[in-house]
Chain A
Amino acid sequence: MNQVRNKAKKIISILIIISSFFMIGANKMSTQMNFRKAKGAEVLERIKLWHNQIAFEVPKDMQLEWQKIGNTYPCQLLRGCSIEHSESEL
């Protein structure tokens, strides 16, 4: 009986250790995900500011349309105005 109990204890200990590793990993992942989400939202706000600034630079008859579409696709419109260089070109 004691032998069985000891085996069970060992298995449970291994289980707890493995679960702890998984828990730590999952926790790290979720922290990272939350951080990325927060960072993404922060970045999007900054891009929207740039976008709104550009919306005043386009012809007057397009300003409203630009602003409306820009709320959904600020990145795409911003890319349309920018000149992109790859790092190696710098």
Chain B
Amino acid sequence: MILLLMNLFAKKRINFFLFFFLIWTSVILLRLYQITAVDSDYFLNYFKGKTWKTGTIPALRGRLLDRNGQLIAWSVRKFSLYYKVTTGNKDSVDIDLQKLNKLIQIQLSLVDDAATNSLVLLKSNLKPVELLKLERFMKDNPQFYVKSYFEREKFNDRRDVKRIIGRTSIQKDNEIGVSGLERQFNDRLVGKDGKYRVMIDKNNEWILETWKEIQPPVPGFDVYLANSI
């Protein structure tokens, strides 16, 4: 009798396990079917969407100082916001600018007379907070873009002093000395750009773990002058 009961109980247990396995297998098979057949396009696009990008950070130009360590010329990194007029339709330009105006204050009249395909400077010397807000905004609105640039400051605005110090110009996003002391010491003053490589997803976001430094940025050397200006 006991043996019969045990047998019956064991059979029930086996049936229970078999039933459980059947459900489990069905769930796994259904999921596999969903991934490989139903959502295959989505997954294929997702993986295809990932691409590698490289980035360059232009290096800071070195400073010019006199023999007492007083600054004579130095560079400052600034950011400007530009708008590319892609259409002659004034209404669509107005809509773009009003969207932007909700984030940062700009003069709406700046684009009024701009021709199609021209670049319009909307705001210079952006603050870090504005830069952050724009980073997200620009992903959906590629007609706006921020450009980082260097501005060479001088300790004195006198014309003769400026002539001795010389001028720099931006060539391939780097400051190059084209006259005066800036040109004379250009090799020492010019830095080495930083370079990195990163994978981006289909939303144009960095996949952080894939970020790799290829070359660290090296600012240019400071040059101390033997004579005062």
**Which positions in A face B, CB cutoff 8 Å?**
1, 4-5, 7-8, 11, 15, 36, 39-40, 43-44, 46-47, 50, 53-54, 57-59, 62, 65-66, 69-70, 73, 75-87, 90
Contacts and interface: CB of A to CB of B under 8 A. Distances in A.
Interface in B174-218: 194, 196, 206, 208-209, 211-213, 216-217
Contacts of A66: 128
8 contacts: A8-B10, A70-B128, A73-B132, A82-B55, A82-B56, A83-B58, A85-B54, A86-B51
Contacts of B146: 80
Contacts of A69: 128-129, 132
Contacts of A50: 57, 194, 213, 216-217
B22 interface: no
Given A59-B78, A69-B129, 19 more contacts: A4-B14, A8-B10, A43-B212, A50-B57, A50-B213, A50-B216, A57-B76, A57-B150, A58-B76, A58-B78, A65-B129, A69-B128, A75-B208, A79-B135, A80-B79, A81-B57, A83-B57, A83-B173, A85-B55
Contacts of A15: 17
Kindly name the residue among B7, B128, B213 whose own CB sees the greatest number of chain A CB atoms within 10 A.
Answer: B128
B77 A54 contact: yes
A76 B205 CA distance: 10
A13 B163 CA distance: 88
Contact of A36 (B10, B206, B209): B209
Contacts, number: 109
Contacts of A57: 60, 75-77, 150
A39 B17 CA distance: 42
A87 B77 contact: no
B3 interface: yes
Interface of B: 3, 6-7, 10-11, 13-14, 17-18, 21, 51-58, 60, 75-79, 125, 127-129, 131-132, 134-135, 146, 148, 150, 173, 194, 196, 206, 208-209, 211-213, 216-217, 219
Contact of A40 (B17, B129, B150, B209): B209
A80 B54 CA distance: 14
B128 A65 contact: yes
Contacts of B17: 11, 15
